[in-house]
Amino acid sequence: MQVKDSNPPDGGYGWVVVVSAFMVMGLTAAVLKTFGLFFVEIQQHFDELASTTSWITSVTIVIFHLGAPVASSLCVRYTHRAVVITGGLLAFSGMALGFLGLNMVWMYATTGFLQGLGISFSWTPAISIVSHYFSKKRALANAIASAGECAFAFTFGPFFQWLISQYGWKGALLIIGGIQLNICVCGVLMRPLASSCLLEASHSETETPPGNGASRTDKEEKSAITHKTFNWMLVRRPEFVLYAIFGILAAMSFFVPPLFLVPLSYSLGIDESWTASLLSILAMVDFAGRLLCGWYANLHVTKTVHLLTMTITLISTSLMLLPLANNYLSLAIFTGFYGFFFGTTVAIHITVLADVVGMPDFDSALGLFMLIRSTGGFVGPPLAGLIVDMAGDYRAGFYMAGATLVLSAGFLVTLDQLQQRKERGSQTNTKPEKSTLPYPSLHLLKLQNRRYQEHDVVV
């Protein structure tokens, strides 16, 4: 058994895991992003209202977030590999059964519930295992993995449109489900680190004789590794609570710009073909922002929570300036700024979560964070829509999103202050332990030792 597996390798096979997570991000989140292409086709087939049809995507998003703590607890109890493979099978089942297209309720249960559960069971452990494989390079690894969402979303748009035109929306669903089976392949490649650590600890304990001090150390290490319960008590930790509130406020804002960007461009009289290019610009700069921020965070020049506070401030500034656009060029520039800084935020916010709670509780924290953050995603768009209706202008939605992000940055600042205060307190408590004897006593011992040596020489 290899001892090196007990610590994050920060490379080596970890990059295979990163590529696998990159693929999983594309086959889950990117599919969810581009599923709107099926909206009109399904609506016309069942002759339903837009509000009725939109519940398919709503159910998917709800189950995606609600399933996150379940997926995290299964990762803690079993392995990330097993949960990802299960998620791939569920995602395939949702699309394959949706191919039957029996009625709208059937679509809710298949492409809504099963697909959402499959995405949750794939996305959550995939992003989690990357953090387990990396420590020093965690920010860069998470950024590369999350960039799969942008890369696949950029190509899935025209590809899905072509599938629908060639095979109809039902045939397209079946083909996409088959493509999502590759999630299972990615899951197989996600070799668990925890199992090798457990075997190593068990091996060490059996080799060490009872009563030896080393045996006690091995038992302590094993007990830390075999922590197989989902830690719901994280909600009592002030640091996690502050970061969760930040997540709620950020989610309230992040879902608003994509929702009102196209209507705002139409209100400015911009042609539909130019408006579609705004979404492509958004995807490209998002991709660039994730990779660049991950690379910079990997240099460890700036503390990750400080970097996240900076990116959130820049996003809010770009959202406040975006409504000032009065033509395509200015709107494209401000959209580019927003997309870039959004990508930088997504690249490191999971890394900050790992820094806040520590890796032993990271799986539990990720599931709880996703669950709590979902409330912001549900409340944000309707609240922004209400504000837009009251103001009679789509610009009001962007102002609301920018102001909410400013408020969320305040909780990050509070979190940083709390962490610094605890660090100072721990340093103060450990200072007396460094020297158990005062300096004068140590000096007397040295003098006494010198006298003994001189006495030996004389004798």
H or E stretch covering 237? none
The pLDDT tens digits for 169-182 are 999 999 999 999 99
Q: DSSP for 345-409?
A: HHHHHHHHHHHHH-GGGHHHHHHHHHHHHHHHHHHHHHHHHHHHHHHTSTHHHHHHHHHHHHHHH
Phi, psi of 192, rounded to the nearest 5 degrees: -70, 135
Mean pLDDT of 329-355: 89
The pLDDT tens digits for 206-216 are 334 444 444 44
C-alpha to C-alpha distance for 27 and 23, rounded to whole angstroms? 6
End-to-end, the C-alpha distance of the chain in Å comes to: 56
The lowest-confidence range among 101-110, 172-181, 229-238, 264-273 is 264-273
Band of the pLDDT at 430, cuts 50, 70, 90? low
Mean pLDDT of 280-287: 84
Say what the pLDDT of residue 213 is. Answer: 45
pTM for the whole thing? 0.70
C-alpha to C-alpha distance for 459 and 441, rounded to whole angstroms? 27
Percentage of the chain exceeding pLDDT 90: 27
Do residues 62 and 110 touch, judged by C-beta distance below 8 A?
A: no
Kindly state the tokens that stand for 313. 């401030």
C-alpha to C-alpha distance for 399 and 319, rounded to whole angstroms? 7
Q: Which residue has the higher pLDDT, 100 or 210?
A: 100
C-alpha to C-alpha distance for 396 and 323, rounded to whole angstroms? 8
The answer, yes or no, to whether residue 184 has pLDDT greater than 90, is: yes
Q: Which residue has the higher pLDDT, 252 or 117?
A: 117
C-alpha to C-alpha distance for 313 and 408, rounded to whole angstroms? 9
Q: Which residue has the higher pLDDT, 96 or 386?
A: 96
Average pLDDT of every residue of the chain? 80
Band of the pLDDT at 115, cuts 50, 70, 90? very high
Q: Which residue has the higher pLDDT, 94 or 382?
A: 94
Mean pLDDT of 138-167: 86
The pLDDT tens digits for 401-424 are 999 999 999 999 999 998 888 888
The answer, yes or no, to whether residue 21 has pLDDT greater than 90, is: yes
